[in-house]
Amino acid sequence: MLQKIKETAEFIKAKVNDIPKTAIILGTGLGELVNHIEITDTINYQDIPNFPVSTVEGHSGKLIFGKLGNKRVMAMQGRFHFYEGYNMQQVTFPVRVMKALGITTLFVSNAAGGMNPKFKIGDIMIITDHINLFPEHPLRGKNYNELGPRFPEMSEAYSHRLIKDALKVAEEKGIKVQQGVYVGTQGPTFETPAEYTYFHRIGGDAVGMSTVPEVIVARHSGIEVFAISVITDLGLEGVELEKVSHEEVQLAAAKAQPYMTAIMEGLINEFKA
Protein backbone atom coordinates (compact mmCIF):
# COMPACT_ATOMS: atom_id res chain seq x y z
CA MET A 1 0.00 0.00 0.00
CA LEU A 2 2.78 2.45 0.90
CA GLN A 3 4.49 1.82 -2.41
CA LYS A 4 1.27 2.39 -4.35
CA ILE A 5 0.53 5.65 -2.57
CA LYS A 6 4.06 6.84 -3.25
CA GLU A 7 3.93 5.81 -6.90
CA THR A 8 0.62 7.65 -7.46
CA ALA A 9 1.82 10.78 -5.66
CA GLU A 10 5.04 10.80 -7.70
CA PHE A 11 3.04 10.47 -10.92
CA ILE A 12 0.92 13.49 -9.99
CA LYS A 13 3.90 15.53 -8.82
CA ALA A 14 5.60 14.94 -12.17
CA LYS A 15 2.55 16.32 -13.99
CA VAL A 16 1.62 19.26 -11.80
CA ASN A 17 3.89 21.95 -10.56
CA ASP A 18 2.96 23.85 -7.43
CA ILE A 19 0.93 21.16 -5.65
CA PRO A 20 -1.71 22.78 -3.41
CA LYS A 21 -2.20 22.27 0.32
CA THR A 22 -6.00 22.36 0.02
CA ALA A 23 -8.19 19.61 -1.44
CA ILE A 24 -11.90 19.46 -2.23
CA ILE A 25 -14.07 16.42 -2.85
CA LEU A 26 -16.77 17.77 -5.13
CA GLY A 27 -19.72 15.71 -3.97
CA THR A 28 -23.37 16.30 -4.76
CA GLY A 29 -24.32 19.97 -4.61
CA LEU A 30 -20.82 21.21 -5.24
CA GLY A 31 -20.13 20.14 -8.82
CA GLU A 32 -20.54 23.69 -10.03
CA LEU A 33 -17.67 24.92 -7.86
CA VAL A 34 -15.35 23.65 -10.57
CA ASN A 35 -16.49 26.56 -12.76
CA HIS A 36 -15.02 28.93 -10.20
CA ILE A 37 -11.58 27.31 -10.36
CA GLU A 38 -8.95 28.81 -12.65
CA ILE A 39 -7.79 25.43 -13.90
CA THR A 40 -4.11 24.78 -14.61
CA ASP A 41 -4.06 20.97 -14.81
CA THR A 42 -6.55 18.15 -15.24
CA ILE A 43 -5.79 14.45 -14.88
CA ASN A 44 -8.37 11.76 -15.67
CA TYR A 45 -8.65 9.07 -13.01
CA GLN A 46 -8.18 6.41 -15.67
CA ASP A 47 -4.70 7.77 -16.39
CA ILE A 48 -3.60 7.76 -12.75
CA PRO A 49 -1.71 4.64 -11.67
CA ASN A 50 -3.39 2.70 -8.82
CA PHE A 51 -6.51 4.87 -8.85
CA PRO A 52 -9.70 2.81 -8.66
CA VAL A 53 -11.21 2.16 -12.06
CA SER A 54 -14.66 3.64 -12.55
CA THR A 55 -17.49 1.11 -12.67
CA VAL A 56 -19.60 3.31 -14.92
CA GLU A 57 -18.62 3.49 -18.60
CA GLY A 58 -17.66 7.00 -19.69
CA HIS A 59 -18.21 8.28 -16.19
CA SER A 60 -14.66 8.40 -14.94
CA GLY A 61 -13.69 11.30 -12.73
CA LYS A 62 -10.90 13.82 -12.84
CA LEU A 63 -8.41 15.48 -10.59
CA ILE A 64 -8.43 19.20 -11.17
CA PHE A 65 -5.72 21.61 -10.09
CA GLY A 66 -6.01 25.36 -10.09
CA LYS A 67 -6.80 28.50 -8.19
CA LEU A 68 -10.00 29.15 -6.27
CA GLY A 69 -10.01 32.71 -5.00
CA ASN A 70 -6.60 33.19 -3.46
CA LYS A 71 -5.87 29.48 -2.84
CA ARG A 72 -4.32 26.79 -4.98
CA VAL A 73 -6.63 23.77 -4.76
CA MET A 74 -6.82 20.18 -5.89
CA ALA A 75 -10.39 19.04 -6.57
CA MET A 76 -11.73 15.53 -7.00
CA GLN A 77 -14.51 15.56 -9.56
CA GLY A 78 -16.11 12.20 -8.88
CA ARG A 79 -15.65 10.07 -5.79
CA PHE A 80 -15.76 6.35 -5.05
CA HIS A 81 -18.69 5.00 -3.04
CA PHE A 82 -18.65 1.80 -1.01
CA TYR A 83 -22.01 0.79 -2.53
CA GLU A 84 -20.43 0.72 -5.98
CA GLY A 85 -18.44 -2.30 -4.86
CA TYR A 86 -15.09 -0.68 -4.04
CA ASN A 87 -13.50 -1.82 -0.84
CA MET A 88 -12.69 0.76 1.81
CA GLN A 89 -9.03 0.93 0.78
CA GLN A 90 -10.13 1.88 -2.74
CA VAL A 91 -12.76 4.37 -1.52
CA THR A 92 -10.16 6.18 0.57
CA PHE A 93 -7.07 5.75 -1.62
CA PRO A 94 -7.32 9.30 -3.06
CA VAL A 95 -7.15 10.71 0.49
CA ARG A 96 -3.96 8.73 1.13
CA VAL A 97 -2.54 10.24 -2.04
CA MET A 98 -3.61 13.72 -0.92
CA LYS A 99 -1.60 13.28 2.26
CA ALA A 100 1.42 12.08 0.29
CA LEU A 101 1.12 15.19 -1.87
CA GLY A 102 1.19 17.45 1.18
CA ILE A 103 -2.50 18.33 1.47
CA THR A 104 -3.27 19.73 4.94
CA THR A 105 -6.97 20.65 4.67
CA LEU A 106 -9.84 18.76 3.03
CA PHE A 107 -13.28 20.13 2.12
CA VAL A 108 -16.08 17.66 1.37
CA SER A 109 -19.70 17.83 0.28
CA ASN A 110 -22.52 15.31 -0.03
CA ALA A 111 -26.27 14.88 -0.30
CA ALA A 112 -28.12 13.59 2.74
CA GLY A 113 -31.58 12.75 4.00
CA GLY A 114 -32.69 14.91 6.92
CA MET A 115 -34.06 13.41 10.14
CA ASN A 116 -34.07 16.56 12.24
CA PRO A 117 -37.63 17.99 12.29
CA LYS A 118 -36.22 21.52 12.01
CA PHE A 119 -34.74 20.73 8.59
CA LYS A 120 -36.31 21.48 5.21
CA ILE A 121 -35.48 20.10 1.77
CA GLY A 122 -32.75 22.26 0.25
CA ASP A 123 -31.22 23.18 3.60
CA ILE A 124 -27.46 23.20 3.93
CA MET A 125 -26.06 21.41 6.98
CA ILE A 126 -22.56 21.94 8.25
CA ILE A 127 -21.42 18.58 9.59
CA THR A 128 -20.31 18.91 13.20
CA ASP A 129 -19.72 15.21 13.83
CA HIS A 130 -20.54 11.79 12.41
CA ILE A 131 -21.71 8.33 13.39
CA ASN A 132 -20.00 5.62 11.37
CA LEU A 133 -22.41 2.81 10.50
CA PHE A 134 -20.52 1.44 7.50
CA PRO A 135 -20.07 -2.34 7.77
CA GLU A 136 -16.34 -2.15 7.04
CA HIS A 137 -13.79 0.22 8.57
CA PRO A 138 -11.25 1.91 6.29
CA LEU A 139 -8.50 1.40 8.90
CA ARG A 140 -9.18 -2.32 9.45
CA GLY A 141 -6.07 -4.38 8.87
CA LYS A 142 -2.36 -3.73 9.22
CA ASN A 143 -1.63 -0.20 10.41
CA TYR A 144 1.23 1.66 8.79
CA ASN A 145 2.66 3.96 11.42
CA GLU A 146 4.04 6.12 8.61
CA LEU A 147 0.44 6.92 7.68
CA GLY A 148 -1.03 7.44 11.13
CA PRO A 149 -1.62 5.85 14.55
CA ARG A 150 -3.18 2.42 15.14
CA PHE A 151 -5.91 3.94 17.32
CA PRO A 152 -6.63 7.43 16.02
CA GLU A 153 -8.65 9.69 18.26
CA MET A 154 -11.75 11.34 16.79
CA SER A 155 -12.65 14.08 19.28
CA GLU A 156 -12.65 16.73 16.56
CA ALA A 157 -13.19 14.95 13.28
CA TYR A 158 -14.70 18.13 11.84
CA SER A 159 -12.50 21.13 12.54
CA HIS A 160 -14.13 23.49 15.02
CA ARG A 161 -12.28 26.51 13.68
CA LEU A 162 -13.39 25.79 10.10
CA ILE A 163 -17.00 25.37 11.26
CA LYS A 164 -16.72 28.77 12.94
CA ASP A 165 -15.26 30.32 9.78
CA ALA A 166 -18.04 28.76 7.67
CA LEU A 167 -20.75 30.09 9.98
CA LYS A 168 -19.25 33.54 9.61
CA VAL A 169 -19.12 33.26 5.82
CA ALA A 170 -22.74 32.06 5.72
CA GLU A 171 -23.87 34.93 7.92
CA GLU A 172 -22.01 37.52 5.84
CA LYS A 173 -23.63 36.15 2.70
CA GLY A 174 -27.07 35.93 4.31
CA ILE A 175 -27.31 32.16 3.78
CA LYS A 176 -29.13 30.14 6.41
CA VAL A 177 -27.27 27.02 7.48
CA GLN A 178 -28.07 24.14 9.78
CA GLN A 179 -25.54 22.20 11.81
CA GLY A 180 -25.73 18.54 12.70
CA VAL A 181 -24.49 15.00 12.98
CA TYR A 182 -24.11 12.96 9.77
CA VAL A 183 -24.82 9.24 9.90
CA GLY A 184 -22.79 7.33 7.31
CA THR A 185 -24.41 4.17 5.94
CA GLN A 186 -23.56 1.89 3.05
CA GLY A 187 -26.72 2.31 0.96
CA PRO A 188 -27.63 1.93 -1.83
CA THR A 189 -31.19 1.75 -0.46
CA PHE A 190 -32.63 4.90 1.02
CA GLU A 191 -33.88 4.35 4.56
CA THR A 192 -37.11 2.75 5.69
CA PRO A 193 -39.24 4.91 8.01
CA ALA A 194 -38.00 2.85 10.96
CA GLU A 195 -34.38 3.36 9.93
CA TYR A 196 -34.71 7.16 9.68
CA THR A 197 -36.31 7.13 13.15
CA TYR A 198 -33.56 4.91 14.50
CA PHE A 199 -30.78 7.10 13.06
CA HIS A 200 -32.42 10.19 14.55
CA ARG A 201 -32.86 8.60 17.95
CA ILE A 202 -29.21 7.58 18.15
CA GLY A 203 -28.19 11.19 17.58
CA GLY A 204 -28.15 11.73 13.82
CA ASP A 205 -29.54 14.77 12.03
CA ALA A 206 -28.90 13.58 8.47
CA VAL A 207 -27.95 10.33 6.75
CA GLY A 208 -25.95 9.61 3.62
CA MET A 209 -23.81 7.06 1.81
CA SER A 210 -20.41 8.74 1.62
CA THR A 211 -17.95 11.07 3.38
CA VAL A 212 -17.36 9.11 6.59
CA PRO A 213 -14.68 6.78 5.11
CA GLU A 214 -12.77 9.68 3.53
CA VAL A 215 -13.00 11.74 6.72
CA ILE A 216 -11.71 8.86 8.86
CA VAL A 217 -8.68 8.40 6.62
CA ALA A 218 -8.07 12.15 6.45
CA ARG A 219 -8.08 12.34 10.25
CA HIS A 220 -5.86 9.27 10.51
CA SER A 221 -3.44 11.17 8.26
CA GLY A 222 -3.69 14.39 10.29
CA ILE A 223 -5.57 16.29 7.57
CA GLU A 224 -8.00 18.93 8.86
CA VAL A 225 -11.57 18.42 7.59
CA PHE A 226 -14.63 20.52 6.82
CA ALA A 227 -17.78 18.90 5.41
CA ILE A 228 -21.20 20.05 4.38
CA SER A 229 -24.43 18.29 3.37
CA VAL A 230 -27.32 19.40 1.22
CA ILE A 231 -30.57 18.02 2.63
CA THR A 232 -32.32 16.52 -0.38
CA ASP A 233 -35.17 14.61 1.30
CA LEU A 234 -36.66 14.13 4.75
CA GLY A 235 -37.34 11.12 6.92
CA LEU A 236 -39.12 12.49 9.96
CA GLU A 237 -40.47 10.46 12.83
CA GLY A 238 -44.28 10.51 12.86
CA VAL A 239 -44.56 12.02 9.38
CA GLU A 240 -45.54 9.75 6.51
CA LEU A 241 -42.43 9.11 4.41
CA GLU A 242 -42.60 10.35 0.85
CA LYS A 243 -41.02 8.22 -1.83
CA VAL A 244 -37.61 9.55 -2.77
CA SER A 245 -35.67 8.93 -5.97
CA HIS A 246 -32.15 9.64 -7.16
CA GLU A 247 -33.64 12.24 -9.54
CA GLU A 248 -35.34 14.12 -6.70
CA VAL A 249 -32.11 14.07 -4.73
CA GLN A 250 -30.28 15.58 -7.72
CA LEU A 251 -32.99 18.20 -8.23
CA ALA A 252 -33.00 19.33 -4.61
CA ALA A 253 -29.21 19.44 -4.62
CA ALA A 254 -29.18 21.54 -7.79
CA LYS A 255 -31.45 24.13 -6.16
CA ALA A 256 -29.19 24.45 -3.14
CA GLN A 257 -26.02 24.39 -5.23
CA PRO A 258 -25.51 28.19 -5.59
CA TYR A 259 -25.66 28.63 -1.80
CA MET A 260 -23.45 25.66 -1.08
CA THR A 261 -20.95 26.89 -3.69
CA ALA A 262 -20.95 30.40 -2.20
CA ILE A 263 -20.22 29.12 1.29
CA MET A 264 -17.44 26.78 0.17
CA GLU A 265 -15.85 29.36 -2.09
CA GLY A 266 -15.97 32.01 0.65
CA LEU A 267 -14.64 29.62 3.27
CA ILE A 268 -11.78 28.30 1.13
CA ASN A 269 -10.82 31.85 0.20
CA GLU A 270 -10.83 33.09 3.77
CA PHE A 271 -9.58 30.24 5.95
CA LYS A 272 -6.05 30.37 7.29
CA ALA A 273 -4.14 27.52 5.65
For ligand HPA, the closer CB: 243 or 272: 243
* Cβ-proximal residues to 101 (8 Å cutoff; 6+ apart), any chain: 9, 12, 13, 19, 74
* Cβ-proximal residues to 145 (8 Å cutoff; 6+ apart), any chain: none
**DSSP state for residue 50 in the 8-state scheme:** T
Stretch that binds ligand HPA, among 46-54, 135-143, 165-173, 227-235 (CB under 6 A): 227-235
For ligand HPA, the closer CB: 113 or 148: 113
123 binding ligand HPA? (CB under 6 A): no
Stretch that binds ligand HPA, among 37-45, 55-63, 66-74, 108-116 (CB under 6 A): 108-116
Backbone dihedral angles phi then psi of residue 116, each to the nearest 5 degrees: -80, 125
Query: To the nearest whole angstrom, how small is the minimum distance from the Cβ of residue 47 to ligand HPA?
Result: 30
For ligand HPA, the closer CB: 186 or 269: 186
Of these, 23, 37, 106, 112, which contacts ligand HPA (CB under 6 A)? 112
232 binding ligand HPA? (CB under 6 A): yes
180 binding ligand HPA? (CB under 6 A): no
**Using omega within 30 degrees of 0 as the cis cutoff, is the peptide bond preceding 188 cis?**
yes
Give the Cα separation of 45 and 59 in Å (integer): 10
Stretch that binds ligand HPA, among 53-61, 86-94, 148-156, 201-209 (CB under 6 A): 201-209
Give me the count of residues in the chain.
273
Cα angle value 160/165/168 (rounded, 5°): 130
Q: How many Cβ atoms from other residues are within 10 Å of residue 118's Cβ?
A: 10
Of these, 52, 94, 184, 208, which contacts ligand HPA (CB under 6 A)? 208
183 binding ligand HPA? (CB under 6 A): no
Backbone dihedral angles phi then psi of residue 259, each to the nearest 5 degrees: -75, -45
Site residue total, ligand HPA (CB under 6 A): 13
Of these, 119, 190, 226, 259, which contacts ligand HPA (CB under 6 A)? 190
